[in-house]
């Protein structure tokens, strides 16, 4: 202790002297210097002792050593003293731990075979630092190699040199076998050591300490650092041999001797050693098999696991937004099923079952996103089924030369190939409704409904066989005590009356079910469950405003009718608890849609009987469907029609007005239906609309349904998950538009040029929303492209057209560039026009910095009444195009109205649409919009951005107009007036960086920027729908039209991913003032911003608000999917000089796990804890995220850090 104190004081003295010198020298780490000095001196003393021992080689266990010379005695004393000094300095942190331990290990490794006396001298030193060695896997591995070599030498023949002396049996008791032999079944009793190969060494005073010391050290490594003993594979690093240290040891470490005899404690230690030995075996085998990528795949289980993981990787890497030779449904099928077929390609192998199950999980789970998943899975399985059936048919033709077909073949053809696999998925893994408040459960259930809707449409899953299977299981009779599923029209009634109805219908139902079984011939014993219809009142909500300002709106119902409807709605409360208590298969039978075709009428009747019996409940269910369908058709066929002239039209206009249900009333009833019933309603209504359009196109009618009402039908179909029907309906309407336009011209209607383009805009919005679903069918895609091309007439000027035409042209361009088959088919007639569209619509613009003479009254009449169509947009666009001063006054007056004068959501939407129309005819307005937004968001730039007149009249720090302005900007971007990436590049990034750099007066503009980004990056949601008579909140700000919401979502999908990363980095830096583990979690009591302003978050500090905005943006599914796919291809996006390593890691965590709190930096080794967390939480769905996190950490680490991390 005194020596260590003297060393410290001397060092401190020299450091103080160095500080006082004018010319300071480089400071050397004292710990390293002390380590080098003391290890050098110890090595010199050890060499003197070693030379003495080497003069007298071992002559056997009983041969005594000669007298020790004085100089060797001195060296021994110096060795013992300095060894103690080194131990004290090591514990006091005065030595470099790794360097000193490495030196100790090297001393042992340099001891030659046969130098047992020298090894006995060093063993106490090794045991003193045993607790330190096991903290490093690298040093432990080297030490384990040394111990196993020495123990092996003791057991091998001739290990004791010439003349084995008193113990000739030392080299005879070797045990042959595997590295880790089986544990002996019986253990010796008493206080003696187990009978092992080392038994003879226990009585030898020379070798007993060696055997016990080396065994103890090796067993410590097994217990405390088993990673050092795992089988290692190395092709490049010569220092690390392939294999395991235990390969050199003929017996297991648990069989090595222990001091203290065979006590209960030693038995407990040996038991623990055997457990860890098994773990080492398993880990070694995994490494040897390359973690299931080589030898393990030769087994059935390994091959199946490999195919499942490969399938998921293929799905994650596939781009469903484009279709070309290397990225099509066929290429996806070949990657999934092409390499995984069994020897008999026509037979379904067990790993096919696993792949099919994975595809179903991928289509349903919340870990992945996109409505296209259900259609992708259905088409893949349809293709796989057709391939297997074709192979089977070919084989049967070869076997049966006469061409006869056996009854077995007929049975196989009737049952879809994957029916049993899909039924097992429904039995065991498919989601069910159990908790009314569980949103993820609702989403997964709706995904399941959509998946099986598509599987049934593609004949991959038979609904008829499914229902008969449920009946044949007999559960309908055994579970008759459960409450019968409620029909959609059930009102509150007396409980005894309901019991009578249930009892009366149960007998009829059982008889009918028995009849159904006889019809289908299925009688195998299977299991059934029951459930009533599960409603989704809180899921999606289409807009409730079908009527426009320029068209008559449906009249409101009378108060008596309103109260009656409210009373009825209470009986249809979707939150009814017993709905969630029904068994899974009744939930599925209630909601799974059936194609509305004549051939499916038997299945529809069968479903009604199974769910409602044959009594009053079934009649009520039918009546409800008819009533809602009748209400919708009443609106479409009578009041909500566009008259185009003619005697019939005049008669309709003179007819006495009737009371019609509003869109809100219709939807409040519609949302209580099951998905099956919703499909039935929307199918009937869409057929009626199509008949009206077709009748008008053929000149047989003067009436056209209003565009707003067709849009409402679109919304109902989307809400009901009738996606395929929605796409088919949209394409059928598109094919009729050219005929409708011709008929309007023939009748000289005022709707010429407006009706068809407005309806086509709604169609384009729907097709953009489900673009990934559309391009799965090349024929439909070509049909859409040709129909849109005819509507806009390729001769239209992209720089001088209406807003609707501009959006149609933009989608034409996107379709053409994303589908290679369209280029092949329409390249000659569209390629030149495609470049014009690109140069006009998709060209980047720079913001204007205008400061013209402001005319406060310019265009104010139009701005005050934006929905009035009493002026020519083209003419006004020309006026604006010819005068920069007029453009300046117009944008200032518009923003003044939005920010100061009026903030009514309806007017904000109307103003946005008006400005979109004028911008389509005056492209120069785009630069003005971009410039005035930059002026507001970067208002701290002292007027350098222009538009001083607006800045003098608008207080940017006023939070009340931020939502209105954000909605206005969102409509401009949705209507292709601005590119989202231009707004990010020219407005958002400069504003956020100014605030992040603490520029003076930059906070109001940055807060406004965050608000705008929040609106632009959030997935557009439908407006709140009135529930059970509660009217919607008219003051909530947002895009009212679902058409514009779909167009905004399309703009989000088309933004370059670099702009997304730029936004995330900038907002992250803005909120990184005090970023900690829970700093990015939702503040308590905060509501979703889209549902209305929340004062607590709006008035929070800028860094807290920025964290909230960042987390909300990262929680958007499209943001996460785009970022993860981009990072999987190139992980350098987060290696930015503006972000330090820990910031990049946290930002990646937010992208990968947006709903989870960030990792805490508490603890001794946060890097190691983070790696441990990654590996512990990894499963098949998070492998991509885990891989990205580890890759980023590796790229950020230096070689020394990696080496240090690997050693531990």
In terms of pLDDT, which residue wins out, 79 or 901? 79
pLDDT, tens digit, 9 for 90 and up, residues 800-847: 888 999 999 999 999 999 999 999 998 888 888 888 888 888 888 999
Beta-carbon contacts of 446 under 8 Å, excluding residues fewer than 6 positions away, are 536, 539, 675, 721
Instruction: Output the pLDDT for position 137.
Output: 87
In terms of pLDDT, which residue wins out, 783 or 15? 783
Beta-carbon contacts of 516 under 8 Å, excluding residues fewer than 6 positions away, are 467, 468, 471, 606, 609
Q: Taking all residues of the chain, what is their mean pLDDT, rounded to a whole number?
A: 77
* Among candidate residues 704, 800, 692, 801, the one with its CA nearest the CA of residue 751: 704
**Residue 618 burial (CB count, 10 A):** 19
In which band, very low, low, confident or very high, does the pLDDT at 784 lie, cut at 50, 70 and 90?
A: very high
pLDDT, tens digit, 9 for 90 and up, residues 73-102: 888 888 888 888 888 888 888 888 888 898
Rounded to whole angstroms, the Cα distance separating 400 from 393 reads 10
Rounded to whole angstroms, the Cα distance separating 453 from 463 reads 10
Residue 534 has pLDDT above 50, yes or no: no
* Among candidate residues 210, 218, 257, the one with its CA nearest the CA of residue 114: 210
Copy the structure tokens of residue 397: 């033709």
The crossing angle, in degrees rounded to 10, of helices 925-937 and 905-921 is 130
- Helix residue ranges, H only, 245-368: 264-288, 300-317, 329-333, 350-364
In which band, very low, low, confident or very high, does the pLDDT at 1 lie, cut at 50, 70 and 90?
A: low
Rounded to whole angstroms, the Cα distance separating 267 from 272 reads 9
Residues 339-345: what's their mean pLDDT? Answer: 48
Ordered DSSP codes for 1156-1171: SPPPP--SS-HHHHHH
Residue 489 has pLDDT above 90, yes or no: no
Residues 5-26: what's their mean pLDDT? Answer: 60
Residue 217 has pLDDT above 50, yes or no: yes
Residue 161 has pLDDT above 90, yes or no: no
In which band, very low, low, confident or very high, does the pLDDT at 212 lie, cut at 50, 70 and 90?
A: confident
For 874, the enclosing helix (H) or strand (E) is helix 873-882
Residue 819, strand partner residues: 323
DSSP state of 69: P
**Residue 96 burial (CB count, 10 A):** 19
Ramachandran angles phi, psi of 489, nearest 5°? -100, 10
Radius of gyration of the chain (CA): 39
Instruction: Output the pLDDT for position 1141.
Output: 87
Beta-carbon contacts of 1041 under 8 Å, excluding residues fewer than 6 positions away, are 543, 711, 909
End-to-end CA distance of the chain: 30
User: SS3 of 673, please?
Assistant: coil
Rounded to whole angstroms, the Cα distance separating 321 from 889 reads 41
Rounded to whole angstroms, the Cα distance separating 1094 from 1090 reads 10
pLDDT, tens digit, 9 for 90 and up, residues 354-413: 999 999 999 999 999 999 999 999 999 999 999 988 887 766 554 454 444 443 433 444
Where do the DSSP E strands lie in 511-565?
none
Contact 244/229 with Cβ under 8 angstroms?
yes
Vertex 988 angle, CA 987 and 992, to 5°: 120
Residues 613-638: what's their mean pLDDT? Answer: 84
Contact 391/743 with Cβ under 8 angstroms?
no
Rounded to whole angstroms, the Cα distance separating 909 from 971 reads 7
Instruction: Output the pLDDT for position 1184.
Output: 92
User: SS3 of 327, please?
Assistant: strand
Q: Would you list the domain boundaries of the chain? A: 28-288, 293-398+411-461, 727-843, 860-1114, 1121-1208
Portion of the chain with pLDDT greater than 70, in percent: 72
Portion of the chain with pLDDT greater than 90, in percent: 33
In terms of pLDDT, which residue wins out, 310 or 792? 310
In terms of pLDDT, which residue wins out, 132 or 25? 132
In which band, very low, low, confident or very high, does the pLDDT at 1203 lie, cut at 50, 70 and 90?
A: low
Contact 396/405 with Cβ under 8 angstroms?
yes
DSSP state of 580: G
Instruction: Output the pLDDT for position 729.
Output: 96
DSSP state of 1027: -
Rounded to whole angstroms, the Cα distance separating 84 from 76 reads 12
pLDDT, tens digit, 9 for 90 and up, residues 400-452: 544 444 434 334 447 899 999 999 999 999 999 888 888 889 999 999 999 99
Rounded to whole angstroms, the Cα distance separating 1128 from 1131 reads 6
Copy the structure tokens of residue 1108: 């909230």
Copy the structure tokens of residue 1165: 């080794």
In which band, very low, low, confident or very high, does the pLDDT at 515 lie, cut at 50, 70 and 90?
A: very low
Q: Is the dihedral of CA 830, 831, 832, 834 positive or negative?
A: positive
Rounded to whole angstroms, the Cα distance separating 390 from 387 reads 5
Instruction: Output the pLDDT for position 753.
Output: 82
For 703, the enclosing helix (H) or strand (E) is strand 703-705
Q: How does 120-151 read in b/e, with b if 16+ C-beta sit within 10 Å? A: bbbbebbeebbebbbebbbbbbbbbbbbbbbb
Contact 362/384 with Cβ under 8 angstroms?
no
Rounded to whole angstroms, the Cα distance separating 623 from 620 reads 5
Contact 1064/1113 with Cβ under 8 angstroms?
yes
* Among candidate residues 786, 806, 914, 930, the one with its CA nearest the CA of residue 862: 914
* Among candidate residues 215, 213, 200, 100, the one with its CA nearest the CA of residue 159: 200
């Amino acid at each position: 202790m005194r020596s260590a104190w003297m060393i410290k004081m001397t060092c401190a003295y020299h450091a103080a002297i160095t500080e006082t010198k004018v010319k300071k020298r480089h400071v050397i780490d004292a710990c390293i210097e002390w380590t080098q000095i003391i290890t050098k001196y110890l090595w010199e003393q050890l060499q003197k002792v070693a030379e003495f021992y080497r003069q007298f080689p071992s002559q056997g266990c009983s041969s005594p050593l000669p007298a020790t010379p004085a100089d060797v005695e001195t060296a021994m004393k110096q060795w013992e003293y300095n060894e103690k000094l080194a131990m004290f300095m090591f514990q006091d942190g005065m030595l470099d731990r790794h360097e000193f331990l490495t030196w100790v290990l090297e001393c042992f490794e340099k001891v030659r075979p046969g130098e047992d006396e020298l090894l006995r001298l060093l063993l106490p030193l090794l045991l003193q630092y045993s607790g330190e060695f096991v903290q490093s896997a690298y040093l432990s591995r080297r030490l384990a190699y040394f111990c196993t070599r020495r123990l092996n030498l003791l057991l091998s023949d001739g290990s004791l040199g010439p003349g084995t002396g008193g113990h000739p049996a030392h080299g005879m008791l070797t045990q042959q076998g595997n590295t880790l032999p089986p544990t002996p079944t019986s253990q010796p009793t008493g206080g003696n050591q187990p009978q092992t190969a080392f038994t003879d060494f226990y009585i030898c005073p020379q070798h007993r300490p060696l055997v016990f010391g080396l065994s103890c050290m090796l067993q410590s490594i097994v217990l405390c650092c088993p990673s050092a003993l795992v089988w290692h594979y190395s092709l490049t690093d010569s220092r690390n041999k392939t294999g395991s240290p235990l390969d050199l040891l003929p017996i297991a470490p648990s069989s090595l001797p222990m001091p203290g005899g065979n006590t209960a404690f030693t038995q407990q230690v040996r038991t623990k050693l055997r457990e860890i030995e098994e773990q080492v075996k398993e880990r070694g085998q995994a490494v040897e098999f390359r973690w299931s990528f080589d030898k393990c795949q030769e087994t059935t289980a390994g091959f199946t696991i490999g195919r499942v993981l490969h399938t998921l990787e293929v799905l994650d890497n596939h781009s469903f937004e484009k279709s070309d030779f290397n990225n099509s449904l066929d290429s996806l099928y070949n990657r999934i099923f092409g390499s995984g077929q069994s020897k008999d390609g026509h037979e379904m192998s067990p790993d096919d079952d696993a792949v099919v199950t994975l595809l179903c999980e991928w289509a349903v789970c919340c870990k992945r996103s996109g409505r296209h998943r259900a259609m992708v899975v259905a088409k893949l399985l349809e293709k796989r089924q057709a391939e297997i059936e074709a192979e089977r048919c070919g084989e049967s033709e070869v076997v049966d030369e006469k061409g006869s077909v056996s009854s077995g073949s007929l049975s196989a053809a009737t049952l879809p190939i994957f029916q049993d696999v899909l039924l097992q998925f429904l039995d065991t893994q498919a989601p069910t409704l159990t908790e009314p408040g569980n949103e993820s459960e609702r989403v997964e259930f709706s995904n399941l409904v959509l998946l099986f809707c598509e599987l049934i449409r593609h004949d991959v899953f038979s609904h008829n066989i499914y229902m008969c299977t449920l009946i044949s299981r007999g559960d309908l009779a055994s579970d008759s005590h459960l409450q019968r599923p409620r029909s959609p029209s059930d009102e509150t009634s007396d409980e005894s009356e309901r019991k009578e109805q249930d009892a009366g219908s149960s007998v009829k139902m059982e008889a009918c079910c028995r009849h159904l079984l006889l019809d289908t011939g299925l009688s195998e014993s299977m299991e059934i469950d029951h459930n009533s219809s599960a409603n989704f009142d809180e899921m999606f909500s289409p807009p409730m405003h079908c009527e426009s300002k320029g068209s008559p709106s449906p009249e409101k119902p009378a108060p008596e009718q309103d109260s009656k409807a409210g009373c009825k709605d209470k009986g249809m409360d979707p939150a009814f608890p017993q709905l969630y208590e029904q068994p899974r298969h009744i939930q599925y039978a209630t909601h799974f849609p059936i194609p509305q075709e004549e051939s499916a009428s038997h299945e529809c009747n069968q479903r009604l009987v199974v769910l409602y019996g044959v009594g009053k409940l079934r009649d009520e269910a039918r009546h409800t469907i008819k009533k809602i369908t009748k209400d919708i058709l009443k609106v479409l066929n009578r009041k909500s029609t566009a008259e185009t002239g003619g005697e019939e039209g005049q008669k309709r206009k003179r007819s006495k007005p009737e009371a019609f249900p509003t869109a809100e009333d219709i939807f409040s009833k519609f949302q209580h239906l099951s998905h099956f019933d919703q499909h039935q309603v929307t199918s009937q209504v869409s057929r009626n609309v199509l008949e009206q359009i077709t009748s008008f196109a053929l000149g047989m009618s003067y009436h056209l349904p209003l565009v707003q009402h067709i849009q409402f039908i679109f919304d109902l179909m989307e809400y009901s998950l009738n996606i395929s029907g929605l796409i088919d309906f949209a394409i059928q309407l598109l094919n009729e538009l050219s005929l409708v336009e011709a008929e309007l011209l023939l009748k000289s209607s005022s709707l010429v040029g407006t009706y068809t383009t407005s309806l086509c805009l709604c169609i384009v919005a729907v097709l953009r929303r489900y673009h990934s679903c559309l391009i799965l069918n090349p024929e439909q895609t070509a049909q859409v492209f040709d129909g849109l091309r005819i509507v806009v007439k390729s001769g239209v000027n992209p720089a001088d057209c209406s807003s609707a035409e501009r959006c149609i042209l933009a989608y034409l361009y996107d379709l053409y560039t994303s589908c290679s088959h369209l280029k092949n088919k329409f390249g000659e007639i569209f390629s030149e026009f495609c470049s014009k569209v690109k140069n006009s619509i998709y060209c980047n613009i720079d913001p204007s910095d205008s400061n013209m003479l402001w005319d406060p009254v310019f265009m104010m009449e139009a701005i005050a009444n934006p929905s009035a169509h009493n002026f020519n947009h083209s003419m006004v666009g020309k006026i604006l195009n010819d005068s920069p001063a007029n453009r300046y006054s117009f944008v200032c007056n518009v923003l003044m109205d939005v920010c100061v004068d009026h903030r009514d959501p309806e007017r904000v939407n109307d103003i946005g649409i008006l400005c979109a129309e004028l911008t389509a005819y005056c492209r120069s307005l785009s630069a003005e919009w971009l410039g005035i937004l930059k002026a507001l968001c970067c208002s701290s730039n002292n007027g350098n951005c222009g538009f001083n007149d607006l800045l003098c009249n608008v207080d940017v720090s006023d939070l009340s107009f931020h939502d209105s302005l954000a909605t206005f900007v969102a409509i401009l971007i949705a209507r292709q007036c601005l590119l989202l990436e231009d707004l990010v590049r020219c407005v958002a990034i400069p504003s956020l960086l100014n605030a992040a750099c603490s520029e003076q007066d930059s906070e109001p503009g940055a807060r406004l920027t965050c608000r705008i980004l929040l609106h632009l990056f959030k997935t557009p949601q439908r407006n709140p729908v009135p529930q059970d008579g509660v009217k919607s909140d008219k003051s909530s700000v947002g895009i009212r039209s679902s058409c514009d919401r779909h167009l905004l979502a399309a703009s989000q999908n088309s933004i370059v991913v670099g702009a997304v990363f730029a936004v995330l980095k900038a907002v992250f830096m803005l909120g990184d003032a005090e970023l900690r583990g829970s700093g990015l979690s939702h503040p308590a009591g905060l509501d979703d911003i889209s549902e209305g302003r929340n004062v607590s978050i709006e008035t929070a500090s800028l860094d807290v608000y920025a964290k909230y905005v960042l987390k909300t943006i990262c929680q958007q599914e499209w943001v996460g999917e785009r970022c993860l796919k981009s990072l999987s291809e190139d992980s350098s996006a987060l290696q930015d000089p503006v972000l330090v390593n820990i910031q990049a890691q946290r930002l990646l965590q937010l992208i990968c796990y947006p709903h989870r709190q960030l990792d805490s930096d508490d603890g001794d080794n946060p890097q190691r804890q983070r790696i441990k967390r990654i590996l512990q939480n990894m499963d098949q769905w998070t492998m991509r995220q885990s891989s990205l996190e580890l890759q980023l950490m590796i790229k950020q680490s230096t070689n020394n850090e990696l080496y240090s991390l690997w050693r531990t």
